[in-house]
Amino acid sequence: MDEHSSVETVETILDVDQILLYNRNVFLSGLIDDEKADKINKQLLALSIIDNTPIALWINSPGGDIFAGLAIIDMMLGLRCPVYTFINGVACSMAAIISIAGKQRVITTNSRWMIHDGFSAMDDYFSKLEDQIQCLRDVNKQINNHIKKYTKLTIAEIENSKKGGLWLNAKQCKQKGIVDVIAKV
């Protein structure tokens, strides 16, 4: 048996994703949408049913859909076991909002965190736009309150992020109470 065949044999026996999930590691990478939120929520819920030990949610995401992200936050906060968040790469936009909801919040040395003003592509009849605008205002207020609750960011810093984005490195995240620990993986 050559080296190449032994690697293929190991890969067919061991599914890396299953091993990581079995060891209570869930991954949020890429854009957040309803399908990804549904998959993550099912994984979190299943692990919570198995036992109460902490779950690690690894984040490397540019963000995405607000409502899909809020669904992940609701699941995290509603479980009987704690969810620890690990930023390994980047947590932007909705991924940044998810990251601060962890019971223990970790960022790796070279990672970045970013929040910015929300974005909406409203495409509807004028009569319906007023309701959508009010909903977006309510969600924006909800997210701002979430940021204030879980970080040391000032209202001015949160508001200034809407002018182009607030980018923070690991050390700044620690200083601003966005994470609890800076770690090397």
CA distance 163 to 17: 39
SS3 109: coil
- The b/e string for 88-116 (b: 16+ C-beta within 10 A; e otherwise) is bbbbbbbbbbbbbbbeebbbbeebbbbbb
CA distance 165 to 105: 21
- What are residue 141's phi and psi, to 5 degrees? -65, -40
Catalytic residues: 93, 116
Contact (CB, 8 A) for 148 and 72 = no
